[in-house]
Amino acid sequence: MSTLVLGAGGFLGLNIVDALVAAGSTPRCGRRVRSNVIPLRSRKLPMVVADLEQPETLREAMRDTKTVVHAAGYYPRLSLDYEGAIRIGRTQLENVLDAAAASGVERVVYVSSTATIAPRADGSASTEADGFASVPGFGLYHDLKWTMESIALAEQRLEVVIACPGACIGPWDLRVGTSALVVGIARGVNPPHPDGIVNIVDARDVGQLVAKMALSTTSVPKRVLMAAHNRQVHPMLESLAKRYGVAPPSAPLRADEAKALAFSEESRAAECGGRPAVSREIVDLIVHGAPVDASLATQALGARFRSWTETLDAFDDWARRMRLIPEQPGYWSTEHGSESITQP
């Protein structure tokens, strides 16, 4: 009986896979037919096709599986199709849970988000006990994550435990998701942003904690927050600008300005391709961000979160090797000479 990781080739998936291997496990790595499996191939681990839209592949992938780590929760690149995204997220998670129940899987570790943690009225740090009673209504990302987590929480056929990581920074963020602001600053781009609180966590710490939730032979908490540092975004970007020797970031946008810009940028990206200068998801996570208290992860799973400096140094080293961060802010050399950088 083994562990299957869905989304194994993705950002968190690779960190979870590495943590499982470090803990002595040999996970099977779920993948889509068409996906980047270069990092998985170099790890020499068994791969199996597990397409969340094709239940028969999930049932086959889950054969003889004791634990499924679901790190492939739907994550739309743009927030323009609300109904469609909610429908996809719901269907995919239902497919995973149905296949797990039919295959005799004992535990599913579902990787969710701190977006499902409700802010407290008094501004104090929220814990796992703080959930939204109904859909948050902040925007697609929060609503999608809440909808999917509600399905996971309601599952009765098998044990489902939920990991709620904050803004993950670390190696293997090849799509430059949550690290977009760090990469933007390091490239000498002035990233438009609102201000608010983000809950930073090292992706390697998340990998280790999710691996513990998967491998534990005793009961684990139903829902575990994974966040190490509650940081105000604008001062964090100012300190990053100093680190990279670039001009300080422009003043933060108001929430309504940031949402309008995100809508216009996402509309442009939908029409012309490329990525938006700022996404609605990032705007909502910052604008509605609240401090969280992840002490349950420390008490129940022995979490020892890395410092921000350690996280940033490791990310910087990896991102330079992957050419996501150039040797010199604003420019880097290519096989065709020097190229100006416009956006992450």
Partner 1 sequence: MEANQSHNLDEKILRVIAELSLVRLADIKPTDRLREDLGMDSVASMELLSALAEEFDLEVEMEEAMAITTVDGVMEMAKKRLLAA
Residues in contact with partner 1 by the rule CB under 8 A:
34-39, 41-42, 174-175, 273-275, 321-324, 334-336
Which of 197, 199, 198 is CA-nearest to residue 305? Answer: 199
The torsion angle over the Cα atoms of residues 271, 275, 281 and 286, rounded to 10 degrees, is -140
Shortest Å distance, C-beta 273 to partner 1? 7
Cβ nearer to partner 1, comparing 173 with 202: 173
Q: How far apart are CA 315 and CA 172, in angstroms?
A: 9
SS3 217: coil
Shortest Å distance, C-beta 341 to partner 1? 13
Cβ nearer to partner 1, comparing 77 with 243: 77
Shortest Å distance, C-beta 282 to partner 1? 18
DSSP string for 247-313: PPPPPPBPHHHHHHHHHHHHHHHHHH-S--SS-HHHHHHHHT---B--HHHHHHH---PPPHHHHHH
Shortest Å distance, C-beta 241 to partner 1? 24
292's torsion region: left (phi>0), alpha (psi -120 to 50) or beta?
A: beta
Cβ nearer to partner 1, comparing 120 with 175: 175
Strand partners, 107: 67, 159
Cβ nearer to partner 1, comparing 175 with 243: 175
SS3 53: coil
Shortest Å distance, C-beta 34 to partner 1? 6
SS3 287: helix
Cβ nearer to partner 1, comparing 84 with 274: 274
Shortest Å distance, C-beta 153 to partner 1? 31
Cβ nearer to partner 1, comparing 90 with 275: 275
Amino acid in position 96: V
